[in-house]
Structure 1
């Protein structure tokens, strides 16, 4: 089983590592209104481009920087986790599946101080506008400091600490908003405070080691502390300081953090933001206001962006591999046997299309696998299509998947429509009512029919033994794909 190695916890060590590996491109002089976001859009249209570090942003203090395009590269994901840099996407999915099955837990360590406290402001000294937050897309309704972020909250009943990756817009020096879809842990926690008649404490952290940030987007089960999971992933306790106004745990090596309170009914206009579905589906709406009580940042802070857009994009590509691993783990935990692979396709924002490969063991096995994949926690949110294929099909190879759909699926018997499923207002095909937080989805069984497996026509393809013989004999003199 692949194991991640111990990593440094601050973003700057990650930047140095990526630069040494030839995975970083530095750009000077791009403005925050159109040019930073425009350059990011171009670079994330194709998987494998470099991480982008923007410096000398016009109109802002020298040294205040912006980092984006973190994870649109399997190599960078691997380096971030301390895995072999030539790891395949399939191996990465298997790593996450094994990690979820055998997750080491290392609780955070509270420390007295850290670089995040190099600059601390309260009251009239708070100024979020001094950070060069870009307008990431031309059609965005404002400046989103929270895309590559951690949003930290605490359950008022159990004391459980949760952090997620929710979008956050800057409106004024001490005013921001947060948008968490209904059913997300942050939304549940906020409502619990408001039901008690109390404001909800919140901290937003922008600029941490990407390994720590990546956990914010994982489907960690309700009640489980993401810091414990991140510590296990990083191989050491995450060092945290207590927020001076909320007491919430904030990474000591973070670049930027602000904390404050959300009062019930206190909402301001937010959006639109070009989202991970590739559309402006959310529009302009009222979202919870964060009245900022403190702003902390390192000297020469670095804002990180993980930008949603038309797939492929930085917001969804890296999540696809661990979401597939999480779905795989949750299917096995639900009792589905012989799962051979899972893929969460990038074209669906790594959520809307899941392909599951199984070795059929009994009648109804394929249908069971599809239904559970579509409704387990890691697969349920905003899913649209689940395809179940046999073990001879690579779930990450769409040519093979479409071939299986065309030749092994009978639409009369093998397609089910599920209604009233968990979705989001960001889904352009969510139900057209005032809530728009449910959708329908298809479960497609593209497997050989159970009662015809033994007499199913033979596949027209070389045997594995012949492939091995030909590659050994002719491979050195033929093209690399041979």
Structure 2
């Protein structure tokens, strides 16, 4: 195999001591129960489940995959010790350069170890957990890619949407309004045609990250993954739909979504920490082909109360994208951006700037709250001075408490871009909106020269202490 795959990443994670193997946990509640506990505190190891009751030994599930910075770094080919802000800068450079490699079609690969078609299709052969106690069933697609091809342009889109298992040959997919997969599916249905679809469940984690972020419309996520991996992603075409999937992925199935063919889906505990979207009729996938590797590994990125696998990696990417868009809008002297895991890496963002003129901080806040990378499900946008580390929540709250006068440094904006997963959204089913707060927690520009001095060592003194006393200072200082 030329390409790096999920198993390569797992091996590298294990070498760094970031993998926990658990044997004997069942799928109805124990695997989900384990994952919920492991996700409650950031930095816990990834968890591999083996010897799952009712399934052959070697049929495994891996979850809690990207809830630590070192594991995210390993997925992107970075040193494990890369910091959060360095990771944000990496995403900034990545999207400015946008490296990519066209996919490479091959004739075979490990995915072809097991090929089931027609009446032999049974996705229930794959151990698929009920991730939360109140979920409507097992979800085979959490860390997945849903593959569709635009009937007009031929563009192949790979999006991360939730996919529920219903019957041996039936699954469902839930896509929010505005998402690329829904746009493509509707093009087929408007013509009275079935929409071809494939689902990939278990692939290199870099592909999971790219499937869940705002890759521009018309861009191919596997080509972007090739830019991260440094080589073209090798693909095979599924036999019924012709949709390309990685030749070394763990599990893939294909089928068709008919017009008005829907099935009751959900609920699933989501990344906001709630069952906000409930249960509804969603598009049904009638499966015609199932493929999986020998000893397949189902990968889960489980939405839940933050921090969780759906939000942790997303914070660094989104911060980098917002930073780039602030600069593209002409906002000078941006020094840092962070989107906090407690808000699902969407509801709360912090921007650090060096203020140059009156209104500078308010201008930065307004742009950050409504640029493309920042607008979706945003609720709190906080701008702080450049002496505040936006990743340090204590520093951010201190700035809010001591530098913000609510009389003229707090604004509420109505009509923001939201979704059904936001428990506080309003308006209709197809037009979700929310309100959001802009907090200017910078020292008022008119008072910069007279504001009280900060009672903390200078950066110069910190540097002198680090040079002389490094072995006696706290780790990471």
Instruction: Tell me the TM-score normalized by structure 2.
Output: 0.96
Q: 2:439 aligns with which of 444, 451, 463?
A: 444
**In the alignment, what sits opposite 2:323?**
328
**In the alignment, what sits opposite 1:3?**
none
The answer on 1:354 being equivalent to 2:342 is no
The answer on 1:133 being equivalent to 2:89 is no
Measure, in 2, the Cα distance between the counterparts of 1:79 and 1:186.
Answer: 28
**In the alignment, what sits opposite 1:395?**
390
Measure, in 2, the Cα distance between the counterparts of 1:472 and 1:113.
Answer: 55
**In the alignment, what sits opposite 1:189?**
184
User: How many residue pairs were aligned?
Assistant: 476
**In the alignment, what sits opposite 1:166?**
161
Q: 1:214 aligns with which of 191, 200, 209?
A: 209
What pairs with 1:27-106 in structure 2 (closer than 5 Å)?
Answer: 27-106=22-101
Going from structure 1 to structure 2, the CA distance change for 1:15 and 1:476 (only over 3 Å counts) comes to: closer
What pairs with 1:41-440 in structure 2 (closer than 5 Å)?
Answer: 41-431=36-426, 433-435=428-430, 437-440=432-435
1:464: how far off? 2.0
Report if the CA contact (8 A) 2:147-2:199 is conserved. yes
Measure, in 2, the Cα distance between the counterparts of 1:92 and 1:222.
Answer: 24
Report if the CA contact (8 A) 1:151-1:202 is conserved. yes
Report if the CA contact (8 A) 2:3-2:231 is conserved. no
Once the two structures are superposed, residues 373-429 of structure 1 have per-residue CA deviations (whole angstroms, 9 ceiling, x without a partner) of 112222111111111111111111111111211222222222222222221111111
Measure, in 1, the Cα distance between the counterparts of 2:189 and 2:474.
Answer: 63
Once the two structures are superposed, residues 218-262 of structure 1 have per-residue CA deviations (whole angstroms, 9 ceiling, x without a partner) of 211112221221110111101111111111111110110011111
Unaligned 5+ segments in structure 1 are 1-6
Once the two structures are superposed, residues 250-305 of structure 1 have per-residue CA deviations (whole angstroms, 9 ceiling, x without a partner) of 11101100111112211111111011011111111111111112111111111000
Report if the CA contact (8 A) 1:44-1:72 is conserved. yes
Measure, in 1, the Cα distance between the counterparts of 2:206 and 2:392.
Answer: 27
Measure, in 2, the Cα distance between the counterparts of 1:454 and 1:200.
Answer: 63
Going from structure 1 to structure 2, the CA distance change for 1:476 and 1:256 (only over 3 Å counts) comes to: closer
Unaligned 5+ segments in structure 2 are none
1:480: how far off? 4.5
Measure, in 1, the Cα distance between the counterparts of 2:193 and 2:77.
Answer: 42
Instruction: Tell me the TM-score normalized by structure 1.
Output: 0.95
Measure, in 1, the Cα distance between the counterparts of 2:474 and 2:352.
Answer: 30
Report if the CA contact (8 A) 1:74-1:89 is conserved. yes
Measure, in 2, the Cα distance between the counterparts of 1:357 and 1:273.
Answer: 35
CA RMSD, 1 decimal: 1.7
Give SS of 1:277's match: coil
Report if the CA contact (8 A) 1:9-1:208 is conserved. no
1:444: how far off? 1.4
Report if the CA contact (8 A) 1:430-1:436 is conserved. no
What pairs with 1:458-473 in structure 2 (closer than 5 Å)?
Answer: 458-473=453-468
Measure, in 1, the Cα distance between the counterparts of 2:164 and 2:332.
Answer: 44
**In the alignment, what sits opposite 1:25?**
20
Report if the CA contact (8 A) 1:425-1:435 is conserved. no
Going from structure 1 to structure 2, the CA distance change for 1:479 and 1:223 (only over 3 Å counts) comes to: closer
